[in-house]
Structures are given as structure tokens and as C-alpha cells.
């Protein structure tokens, strides 16, 4: 029989128990932000399961838009951004407006994130 004196017990050592899945989910949560998950959860709680159907429909639209942009990019390899698409098909004014609108939207987003 082993006897131990009080206060001399070994302290539990820390262990690295994070798996690859945990690290990936932490990175995704840091990149996306908790607002997306909290907002989505609140919407699902308020509206029920019908919102999942809406998410699927919107996801399908986004998929087709991205496929179309990929086809446009491969049709002319001189395109560097989506403002170039607008310049080629809608004119230089549309490209100018789209480029500055994109810059303005990201400028506002950065200020919103900082606040």
C-alpha cells in the first residue's frame, strides 16, 4: 500500500489535446466572426426551418454567379478584377464606378470592424 502525505501530491500536468479539427474551427470562427453564427442562430430560432431552404436557394445563386465569373475570367485572361469585366462589357464608366464603389464598401467595412 502506498502512502502519500497531504500537500505532496503531484500536480496534473498540462497536455496538448487540441486536435486538427479544433484548430480549424477556431481559425474559421476567428476569420468569420461570431456575429455570423449568432445572427444565423437567432434567425433560425425565430423563423424555423424555412430559413434553411432560403439559405440553400441563396447558396445556389451564389454558386452560379461564381461559375459565371469563372467563365468570364477564362474567356479573357487579361481580366484582373471584376471591374475589368464591367469595363469590357458595360464600358469604362461602369468599371470606374464599380471600382470606386468596391473601395468605398471596404473602407466602410474596416471602420465598422474597428468600432
Name the more confident of 100 and 12. 100
Evaluate whether 107 touches 95 at the Cβ level (below 8 Å).
no
46-75 tens-digit pLDDT: 888 888 899 899 999 999 999 998 898 898
- Could you state, in order of their start, the residue ranges of all structural domains in the chain? 24-75, 80-115
- Calculate the dihedral angle through the C-alpha atoms of 19, 22, 23, 24, rounding to the nearest 10 degrees: 120
pLDDT tier at 2, thresholds 50, 70, 90 = low
Per DSSP, the three-state class of 26 is: helix
Name the more confident of 28 and 104. 104
Query: Which cell numbers in the block locate residue 15?
Result: 497536455
- Calculate the dihedral angle through the C-alpha atoms of 13, 19, 23, 26, rounding to the nearest 10 degrees: -80
Query: Which cell numbers in the block locate residue 28?
Result: 474559421
Q: What angle do CA 74, 77, 79 make, to 5 degrees?
A: 105
If you search the block for the grid coordinates 444565423, which residue do you land on?
Answer: 40
3-60 tens-digit pLDDT: 666 666 677 777 778 888 888 888 877 777 667 777 778 888 888 888 889 989 999 9
Amino acid at each position: 500500500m502506498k502512502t502519500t502525505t497531504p500537500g505532496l501530491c503531484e500536480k496534473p500536468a498540462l497536455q496538448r489535446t487540441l486536435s486538427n479539427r479544433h484548430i480549424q474551427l477556431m481559425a474559421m470562427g476567428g476569420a468569420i466572426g461570431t456575429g455570423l453564427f449568432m445572427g444565423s442562430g437567432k434567425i433560425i430560432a425565430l423563423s424555423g426551418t424555412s430559413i434553411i431552404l432560403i439559405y440553400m436557394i441563396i447558396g445556389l445563386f451564389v454558386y452560379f454567379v461564381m461559375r459565371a465569373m469563372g467563365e468570364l475570367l477564362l474567356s479573357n485572361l487579361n481580366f484582373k478584377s471584376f471591374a475589368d469585366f464591367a469595363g469590357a462589357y458595360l464600358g469604362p464608366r461602369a468599371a470606374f464606378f464599380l471600382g470606386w464603389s468596391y473601395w468605398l464598401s471596404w473602407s466602410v467595412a474596416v471602420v465598422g470592424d474597428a468600432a
